[in-house]
Amino acid sequence: MTRVLVVDDHPVVRGGLVGWLAAQEDLEVVGEAGDGQEALALVAATEPDVVLMDLRMPRMDGVTATERLAVSHPAVRVLVLTTYDTDADIVRAVAAGATGYLLKDAPLPQLADAVRAAARGETVLAPPVAARLVSRMRAPAAEAPTARELEVLGGVARGLTNAEIGRELFIGEATVKTHLLRVFAKLGVDDRTRAVMVAVERGLLPGPGAR
């Protein structure tokens, strides 16, 4: 039997997952949690083989919980199940130690198979996620924005004007504009809004809901 812990902050979604997985003869649901903090406690108490982990949850998100499990319970496999498939989310989850990354539109039989594969230590990726990772690896390495350029772009993300950013960073407004033009070129964009969006997608800036 493969022991599974289900972690999702939506009770209806969590209940549906628990019901389907529990109906499989070779899978045993040993617990369910509504956030990452609760998940850590339940992993210690129930010792699952696989944790089915949502990403965006209150108190502690799935990436943070995955990072901590990789240290405290390295034998436990984490299979991310989420609606989010941005490059930043995928890279953060994989870097944190997730064994797999599935989207919530996956058919339930495929989900059960993915849990079994994760328990065997196999990497499980939804086709769109695998395609994104391959594209990212094949893409020519672009010059990364400097720390100062990201500070300037962070000011833009907070809604500051060039003058306000300059005062905050103790640089002239013309220098702010120069930094922004360089960021635009490096990110392949031509306006402030798109620059912030791309930076967030690539994990260069925290998203609006980041804690």
pLDDT at residue 192 tops 60:
yes
pLDDT at residue 195 tops 50:
yes
Determine the pLDDT at residue 210: 52
Determine the pLDDT at residue 209: 58
Contact 89, 55 (CB under 8 A): yes
List of domains in the chain: 2-138 (3.40.50.2300), 147-202 (1.10.10.10)
Count of alpha carbons within 13 Å of 89, Cβ hemisphere only?
21
Provide mean pLDDT across the span 88-103: 86
Token pair of 194 as six digits? 């798109």
In this structure, what DSSP letter does residue 145 have?
A: P
